[in-house]
Amino acid sequence: MSVPSPGSGGSVFRTVLGDADIDRALTRIAHEIIEANKGSEDLVLLGIPRRGYPLAQRLAAKIARTDPAADPERMVGRLDVTMFRDDLRRHPTRPPGPTRLPPAGIDNKVVVLVDDVLYSGRTIRAALDAIVDIGRPRIVRLAVLVDRGHRELPIRADHVGKNLPTSSAEKVRVRISEVDAVDEVVIEGPA
């Protein structure tokens, strides 16, 4: 359903995923991660702030429900990529946040980067650069809630909740309860 946004200059918002859809997508991604890794051993989920980190926490909880050997507290980390971005001149500066690794680190681990939306690929490129500075994982994979296309770099997600073909004029807004008090994915576009 498309709804005009008040005061948005003619933008239309279309909800494409609700809270149940997001939960199902994360459950599927968690099962894919377990299958690809053949369990949860040596698995690290690194969430990219803002919304990737809470999504990584949710994935870890789902993995722990499936694999009792998994400890969600010890498998999740937070990877700030602010200083590794190649577009700092084009966007307003924001202070870097903390990078927090799980207690066992990432060396020789299977690292799954977790983010909300995959678009140009530049955030993930920055994440790969950040990882090189902090350790040497055995494998790096990528899990995203939404892949909207329009890649500028040769980056592909291994685990995708929903592929959303969009135009360049549209914006994909992921809102999650930990940050936005609601779980939904909305496409904003011209009326």
**Looking at residues 125-132, what average pLDDT do you find?**
96
Q: What is the C-alpha separation between 12 and 8, in angstroms, rounded?
A: 8
Task: Using the predicted structure, report yes or no on whether residue 6 has a pLDDT greater than 50.
Answer: no
More confident residue, 99 or 94: 99
Q: What is the CATH number of the domain that holds 137?
A: 3.40.50.2020
Tokens of 46: 């690194």
pLDDT in tens, 21-56: 999 999 999 999 999 999 999 999 999 999 999 999
More confident residue, 119 or 8: 119
d(CA 130, CA 183): 28
What's the structural domain count of the chain?
Answer: 1
| Prediction pTM value | 0.92
Give me the domain span that covers residue 69: 19-88+96-169
Query: For all residues of the chain together, what is the average pLDDT?
Result: 92
Q: Is 176 a domain residue?
A: no
